Amino acid sequence: MKKNGIINSQLSRLIAEMGHKDSLVVADCGLPIPPTVERVDLSLTKGYPKFIKILEATLEDLVVEKAILASEIKEKSPELEAKIIEMLPTAEIEYISHAQFKKETNNSRAVVRSGEITPYANIILISGVDF
């Protein structure tokens, strides 16, 4: 049995397999997931589990050098944007349109689906290296 960190076997495996510049999406429950991208569906009910809790757990295990957010988060969910920025003090933050964001998910290793219902609660994490 794993002692610390993420205990979801699928998500733990994905993080362990990621290399430099690979991307992983943490998403709300409404983001469309391309059929060619692995889905880690952690959603249980609307609002649970929270996007921010999944992001927090993921950041404990994954080295992130860059994060991509939909630019619409600035207007529609500024409190969430502020929390995300606080959680990623050393990562570069890039903003793109939500339409472009959905296209970019096609290039990700996986999309982790939360139960979140806050608008634009989606992030693309680009992995870095720990050395």
CATH number of the domain residue 27 falls in? 3.40.1650.10
Work out how many domains the chain is built from and give that number.
1
Q: Is 95 annotated as a binding residue?
A: no
Is there a domain that residue 114 lies in?
yes
List 16, 20, 44, 92, catalytic entry = 20
Assess whether 96 carries a catalytic annotation.
Answer: no
Is there a domain that residue 3 lies in?
no
Q: Is 122 annotated as a binding residue?
A: yes
Is there a domain that residue 4 lies in?
no
pLDDT above 90: residue 45: yes
Could you list the beta-strand ranges (E) of the chain: 23-27, 38-41, 64-70, 92-96, 110-113, 123-127
Query: Which pLDDT belongs to residue 7?
Result: 96
Is there a domain that residue 28 lies in?
yes
| DSSP summary character for residue 119 | T
Q: Is 16 annotated as a binding residue?
A: no
pLDDT above 90: residue 2: no
Instruction: Tell me if residue 27 falls in helix, strand or coil.
Output: strand
Is there a domain that residue 99 lies in?
yes
Percent of the chain past pLDDT 90, that is, above it, reads 98
Q: Is 27 annotated as a binding residue?
A: no
Q: Which residue range is the domain that position 27 belongs to?
A: 9-127
Is there a domain that residue 92 lies in?
yes
